[in-house]
């Protein structure tokens, strides 16, 4: 099979991390992936190493421009016109690429872009739409032209994949949709460490929607209560202006020596295995890739009780896979609860979480589910062609 994947940014986070694993699987199957994105970057570099073709379309997300500042509001209509023009040109580029590459399937790897849908309809190519975001709840995006029209489009696509039940519910359970959790890692219980170091860990993009300021405030309160032998390690990057704002905030805290910004790290798995807990404070996480990664690494999670985070950390078994919080006060209480757990209690919760992750988020099993969708779509296409 020839499969053309559509992404937006080339940042090494979330959807693109999952896509890298999917493409590795596709290559092992002997199929031929091709990727188009807005621009080059880390993902394009990775694809080049594996000789996977990548083309830049220069497109924008299919949403309204943001209008939070006066400048944004003044430029709103010109931006809207320019963005629509840019995406029209990008669609033409995509159609030309499809005519040359002749893909069997177009797989749009994020929700807020409609280029793959329109190219598939115009060229009569099967289309898979991977809904990984709420869009409005998690990233404060405004659907273009509106959410009703977006729902109509996804209901007309050949196959919709939602990464959690809550994402599916958010879009009113699209027709012809399946819920397939992201494949994350392969289980290895030997990775669960009994030697936890006295630090809490935050991993991810440093931006307001990830709740990093709430984590900082709650950790400072935790320290004020006398827990002075713990550190908060922050692994991730973001816009320089916001990063400087966070650092300035920490510098004015009496506990600044206990809060460390590590920047982007390639040893996140090792950091997780040694941490007392990972903190996931995103306002409304679509899936929570980092939550599942922590479970595989024997690191319990303190997570916000919303979105994919709560779906991952709870089920009907009666076992605890982590701790959930609603607000800063509860987050501080979670810090205290974890810090006072015995090694045996930590190990039991980490083991339960690891076993749950092995049942639901194994790389191979989740990729096999996706691959069976590809096979069914192309089989139907072949049968229709023969008829």
Which two structure tokens, joined as six digits, stand for 105?
Answer: 């399937």
Same-domain pairing of 107 and 193 = no
Q: Whole-angstrom Cα distance, residue 69 to residue 81?
A: 19
- Asked whether residue 207 falls in the same domain as residue 325, the answer is yes
Residue 20, domain CATH: 3.40.50.2000
Q: According to the model, what pLDDT value does residue 72 have?
A: 93
10-residue mean pLDDT profile of the chain (387 residues): values are: 95 87 96 96 92 96 93 95 97 98 98 98 98 93 96 97 96 96 90 89 93 97 96 95 96 95 93 96 92 95 94 76 95 97 92 93 96 92 54
- Work out how many domains the chain is built from and give that number: 2
Q: Answer for the pair 359, 319: CB distance below 8 angstroms, yes or no.
A: no
Which pLDDT does position 189 carry in this prediction?
80
Residues 173 and 200 in one domain: no
Both 178 and 217 in one domain: the answer is no
201 in the same domain as 110: no
Same domain, 175 and 217: no
Task: Give the pLDDT confidence score for residue 385 in this predicted structure.
Answer: 53
Residues 337 and 267 in one domain: yes
Q: 55 and 25, same structural domain?
A: yes
Say yes or no: 300 and 322 in one domain.
yes
Which residue, 254, 300, 310, 252, is CA-closest to 275?
Answer: 300
Q: Would the CA dihedral through 36, 42, 367, 147 be positive or negative?
A: negative
DSSP 265-297: -S-HHHHHHHSSEEEE--SS-SS-HHHHHHHHT
State which residues form the domain around 82: 2-183+363-386
pTM flag (> 0.85): yes
Helix (H, G, I), strand (E, B) or coil at 182: coil
Spatial separation of the C-alpha atoms in residues 323 and 187, rounded to whole Å: 21
Residues 196 and 291 reside in one and the same domain: yes
Neighbours of 40 (CB within 10 A): 14
| 334 and 376, same domain (yes or no) | no
Please tell me the predicted confidence (pLDDT) of residue 246. 97
pLDDT of residue 387: 47
Give percent helix, percent strand, percent coil of the chain, each to the nearest 5. Answer: 50, 15, 35
Token representation of residue 188: 């290895």
- On whether the CB atoms of residues 178 and 373 are closer than 8 A, the answer is yes
Rg (CA), the chain: 22
Do 196 and 160 have their domain in common? no
Pairing state between β 277-280 and 199-203: parallel
Which one-letter DSSP state was computed for residue 67?
-
């Amino acid at each position: 099979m020839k499969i053309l994947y559509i992404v937006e940014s080339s940042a090494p986070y979330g959807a693109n991390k999952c896509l890298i694993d999917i493409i590795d699987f596709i290559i092992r199957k002997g199929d031929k992936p091709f990727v188009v994105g807005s621009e080059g970057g880390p993902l394009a570099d990775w694809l080049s190493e594996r000789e996977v073709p990548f083309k830049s379309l220069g497109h924008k997300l299919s949403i309204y421009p943001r209008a939070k500042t006066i400048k944004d509001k003044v430029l709103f209509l010109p931006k809207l016109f320019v963005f629509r023009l840019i995406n029209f040109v990008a669609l033409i580029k995509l159609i030309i690429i499809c005519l040359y590459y002749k893909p069997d399937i177009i797989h749009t790897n994020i929700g807020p872009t409609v280029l793959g849908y329109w190219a598939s309809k115009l060229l009569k190519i099967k289309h898979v739409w991977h809904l990984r975001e709420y869009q409005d709840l998690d990233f404060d995006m405004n659907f273009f032209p509106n959410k009703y029209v977006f729902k109509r489009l996804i209901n007309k696509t050949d196959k919709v994949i939602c990464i959690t039940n809550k994402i599916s519910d958010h879009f009113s359970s699209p027709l012809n949709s399946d819920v397939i959790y992201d494949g994350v890692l392969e289980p290895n219980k030997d990775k669960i460490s009994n030697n936890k170091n006295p630090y809490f860990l935050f991993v991810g993009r440093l931006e307001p929607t990830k709740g990093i300021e709430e984590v900082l405030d709650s950790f400072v309160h935790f320290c004020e209560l006398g827990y002075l032998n713990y550190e908060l390690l922050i692994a991730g990057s973001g816009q320089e202006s916001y990063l400087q704002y966070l650092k300035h905030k920490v510098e004015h805290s009496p506990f600044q020596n206990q809060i460390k910004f590590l920047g982007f790290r390639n040893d996140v798995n090792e950091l997780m295995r040694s941490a007392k807990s990972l903190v996931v404070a995103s306002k409304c996480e679509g899936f929570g890739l980092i939550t599942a990664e922590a479970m595989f690494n024997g690191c319990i999670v303190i997570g916000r009780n919303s979105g994919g985070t709560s779906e991952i950390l709870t089920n009907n078994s009666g076992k605890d896979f982590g701790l959930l919080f609603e607000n800063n006060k509860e987050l501080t209480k979670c810090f205290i609860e974890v810090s006072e757990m015995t090694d045996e209690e930590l190990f039991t919760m980490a083991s339960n979480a690891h076993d749950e992750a092995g049942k639901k988020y194994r790389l191979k099993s989740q990729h096999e589910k996706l691959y069976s969708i590809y096979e069914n779509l192309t089989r139907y296409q072949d049968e229709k062609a023969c008829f």
